[in-house]
Amino acid sequence: MHDFKQQKIFTNNTDFYMLVGNYTSILSYHKTLEAATLALKSISGSDNTWPSVWIMAPGETFLEPYINTIPEENSNTSYDSFTSLKNIIGVEEAAKFLGRSSQTVRNMCVAGKLPAKKIEGKWILDKTMLKF
């Protein structure tokens, strides 16, 4: 028997630009190409566990390649917590977690006192990096 794999077809059926990593992971949604580009540029090599990340436009379709990359084989792989979307929270949830007001958390983000990134005008934080 031949060992053929069927390619998977994926279409972005949203009105958003998406950051896609490792051929299967949707990392984030953005209203504009500029916002998606900014988010893509904000991912440093040490934050990235995917062999590639790219922007997918609304209505764009791609065929998933046959190649499956095992992260452990990539010598530059990092398992930093910021890459896990389940740990990403907004200002309001961070405020509850820290026992502070939303405005105080926002001010701390602006001042660089909290590990946060601003995407499309909203601050995002990694819950695992918040310590008090």
CATH number of the structural domain spanning residue 117: 1.10.10
Q: State how far the Cα of 72 lies from the Cα of 4, in Å rounded to an integer.
A: 25
Same-domain pairing of 60 and 98: no
Q: How confident is the model at residue 90 (pLDDT cuts 50, 70, 90)?
A: confident
Domain range enclosing 125: 81-132
Comparing 106 with 80, which gets the higher pLDDT?
A: 106
Same-domain pairing of 50 and 21: yes
Q: Summarize the confidence of residues 72-83 as an average pLDDT.
A: 39
- What's the domain count of the chain? 2
Q: Summarize the confidence of residues 1-19 as an average pLDDT.
A: 64
Q: For tokens 């590990």, name the residue.
A: 115
Comparing 107 with 118, which gets the higher pLDDT?
A: 107
Q: How confident is the model at residue 119 (pLDDT cuts 50, 70, 90)?
A: confident
The model's pLDDT over 38-74, given as tens digits with 9 standing for 90+, comes to 877 777 655 556 667 777 888 777 665 544 434 433 3
Q: Is residue 112 part of a domain?
A: yes
Contact (Cβ atoms closer than 8 angstroms) between residue 77 and residue 71: yes
* Per-residue pLDDT at 81 exceeds 70: no
pTM of the predicted model as reported, rounded to 2 decimal places:
0.40
Contact (Cβ atoms closer than 8 angstroms) between residue 13 and residue 29: no
> Where is the domain boundary, 67, 89, 105?
67
Same-domain pairing of 15 and 46: yes
- Dihedral sign (CA 96, 120, 26, 45): negative
